[in-house]
């Protein structure tokens, strides 16, 4: 993992925004390397990243892309595991996304 050049930015951002260290450092590192997109599953981090000019790729959308490309064969089981390990994902959203792909809901 690439360390941030300016660690003081990380400390200042932690004081200003109610986000975890991982989310803040991802945004700062994205700015530092001039990334176009950032992957998040946290709503507050997503809002801040959009303000900072990033395009956001959410974890659910990324998993759908892998499924559509054939790189992921069982999207339902992956969504179930995502629910087990995330407090931020609404199961209704996952059911909606599954139905849109012609799959049965969870």
Q: Given this model, what pLDDT does residue 73 score?
A: 95
Is residue 74 assigned to a domain?
A: yes
Q: 14 φ, ψ to 5°?
A: -60, -35
Number of domains in the chain: 2
pLDDT tens digits along 65-85: 999 999 999 999 999 998 888
Task: Compute the distance between CA of residue 89 and CA of residue 6 in angstroms, rounded to an integer.
Answer: 32
Average pLDDT for the chain = 85
Range(s) of the domain holding residue 39 = 7-53
100 Cβ neighbours under 8 A, 6+ residues apart: none
Q: Given this model, what pLDDT does residue 25 score?
A: 86
User: What one-character DSSP code corresponds to residue 3?
Assistant: P
Per DSSP (E only), the strands in the chain are: 37-40, 55-58
Is residue 23 assigned to a domain?
A: yes
């Amino acid at each position: 993992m690439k360390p941030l050049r300016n660690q003081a930015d990380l400390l200042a951002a932690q004081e200003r925004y109610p986000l975890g260290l991982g989310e803040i450092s991802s945004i700062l590192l994205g700015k530092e390397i001039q990334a176009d997109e950032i992957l998040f599953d946290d709503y507050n981090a997503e809002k801040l990243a959009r303000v900072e000019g990033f395009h956001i790729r959410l974890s659910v959308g990324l998993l759908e892309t892998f499924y559509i490309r054939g790189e992921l064969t069982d999207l339902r089981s992956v969504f179930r595991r995502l629910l087990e390990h995330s407090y931020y994902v609404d199961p209704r959203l996952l059911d909606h996304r599954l139905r849109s792909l012609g799959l049965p809901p969870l």
